[in-house]
A and B are shown apart, each in its own frame.
Chain A
Amino acid sequence: MLFYIFAAVAVLSGAYMVLTRNLLYAGFSLLLTLLSVAAIYVLLFADFVAVTQLMVYVGGVLVLILFGIMLSSRVHDKSVMSENVNVGWGITISMLTLIGLSYTIWKVGFSSLPWIQQADTNVLAGQKSTVQMIGIKLMTDFVLPFEIASLLLLIALIGAAYIATDKQKV
């Protein structure tokens, strides 16, 4: 029941993000969507992913996006409004995508796949949190992507700082 409430909040605020033309309203409705997706992660026994979502998306990416809005448009001006183009084509393409995806999901019947039916979901409900297991996995099976991820973050940090600096003044 809780899942449907959060799903409705996520979809409605996502739709408001598309419908509104004010950039700041779009940013704050994206905040609501990200929060309800984090709540759905908790309902799916993924507590560590939910906390990561809260810290990285809500605490990091969204603040970055709000700064981007404030720095790239003058408030009390027309530029804080976003103009819409290709509305007909956009609605057509996204409706076709939605219908195609929903039809495929209902046709395939993922719940009746053998590996999903055999899976023992009570193991996840029994344990208290997934943090220990994710930590062990990151240090054993996934250690190479983990290290590459740290390298990627370093490169992104340096690159973003380099791009954003004003080269005429330095």
Chain B
Amino acid sequence: MLTQIPLEHILLLSAALFTIGVLAVITKRHAVVVLMGIELIFNAANLNLVAFSRHDPQLMQGQLFSLFVILVAAAEAAVALAIVLRVYQHFKTANLNQIVSREG
């Protein structure tokens, strides 16, 4: 029998991952690293969904919802990287600050 992992510890881990994702989105100026931060935020949300789904064994709504979150994240990453590539070809840089200052 596996010992139960306390729910609070999983939620705290998820909060830490979310914080790291937010920090990456705020501080990094390369567009791809901002995308990595967004992926980390998605993972933190998924961890919460799966953790609560453990206490819902008949319906498993949390696990199903986390599957859909993974799917939407994959679609988002594909489109976002295509946009980043076009922006890089157009502006010759992927630095968000330089792109904003050139356009404005």
Contact = CB atoms under 8 A, between A and B. Distances in A.
Interface string B58-79: 1110011011101111111111
Interface string A78-94: 01001111110111011
Contacts of B18: 97, 101
A170 interface: no
A60 B9 CA distance: 29
B54 A124 contact: yes
Interface residues of B, number: 75
Given A46-B63, A119-B57, A82 B30 contact: yes
Interface in B55-104: 55-60, 63-64, 66-68, 70-79, 81-86, 88-89, 93-95, 97
Contact of A116 (B29, B40, B55, B85): B55
B26 A134 contact: no
Contacts of B21: 14
Given A61-B77, A68-B81, A164 B86 contact: yes
A11 B51 contact: no
Contacts of B56: 119
B94 A30 contact: no
Nearest to B26: A90
A149 B68 contact: yes
Given A11-B20, A94-B23, A153-B71, A72 B84 contact: yes
A137 B83 CA distance: 35
Given A111-B7, A134-B60, A163-B82, A68 B19 contact: no
17 contacts: A3-B9, A11-B13, A18-B28, A26-B33, A30-B40, A43-B2, A56-B74, A86-B26, A101-B18, A110-B8, A121-B54, A124-B54, A130-B63, A155-B75, A160-B81, A161-B82, A163-B82
